[in-house]
Structure 1
């Protein structure tokens, strides 16, 4: 096992199954009765039914989360998130942890942004990503030039606000290697705390744990790959720590209330590549 930095080059060769298994165990989200569950489609619904998460192996963006403050209205979603295949699962887990935390706290702000989205870009500025500003967009670019975070400075009308057509925030990594190219899209009303949870995880300088056997030559050429010392016996973590992040490698996540949770790496089985 090795540590990979920067994080945006780590890909998803580790942890997808761990995240999927953690959803019902940790968050209490369940598969909705009567749902068409198949090998290519796993739907999860929060107990309050305001959050629906679909994992679709037949989509380019298998992680699809839809939030509705009134789950029975059948109207437009309050906000949506889509994340593509090679989005590092640690970043997916950070997003889901924050969504679950907002619901557990019965936070009414879980369905409105509640502040300037520019705050979501601070983690990139702190890690020396370069910035570019136009009249309509704020962009941060990673030091290696392969990852970007693009924030719209104007909110689209609600009926045009979607993760594919007019995303509010897009964080992506674009290389000539399909194993490290990914993007995550967030619509305009996504709560600020959830945007910050994702960008903090994406910008972190801490390495992500990967199996060196499965790293592509392109990844080894671009990223810093560091062999890890043997892992000591796991120490106790705070209640509610996400198994997905425990499996994700050396990392520290700062949650909204300011407490610090430490995670110990545990290798997960290799994920077989999916056709899209």
Structure 2
């Protein structure tokens, strides 16, 4: 199913997705056929998210094994992840907070979101995201460093699955913007991304909690995305690249919270 939506070459789709979602250098042969609609590769977002999160996640068990406090290891982990992604989703979270929480008209909200400057709402959202993720990972690492690493990889996969779903679910609110220009995924591609993301998260989550314990993280992962989808329909009439990044951040925080509550 995934191959069908990844231009029949899931390996190339994964390489293109890794290039878009991280600071990893592009692999030229993955783009040998010219420009490719990123939306067609959306089913592979979760796998790319898991691979991107894996090196930073390993800092949690490694750091604690070397004698670092869980808070220090978690801080290094989150900062490494931000550096590896180029703060792509954090930028979206900050811009979305500035645009939506100022209670401006749609046109003004979209204009604010395109402004490179960070306002009060954006600064608060970014601070909250960094602090909460570090605190939750430190809390998990204090009990089971390996489980903390798996929880981060699971959250990274599931959050990008929800991101693909939201992208396919809502029309663009910014014609010609980034999310619109790279090709919106089909409904089937969005569903495939979500299914893969949840499957990866469930498989990894079984090493963190038992089956009943996975229910809470799963529910918490859905709530912020469904809430955001409703807000975006009402306020903007659809999604933008920034709002997709915000969805990823909200979902990642929610999943980590869920795992912290059940471990």
Instruction: Compute the TM-score of the two structures, normalised by the length of structure 2.
Output: 0.24
Hey, which of these two has a bigger chunk of strand by percent?
1
Hey, which of these two has a bigger chunk of helix by percent?
2
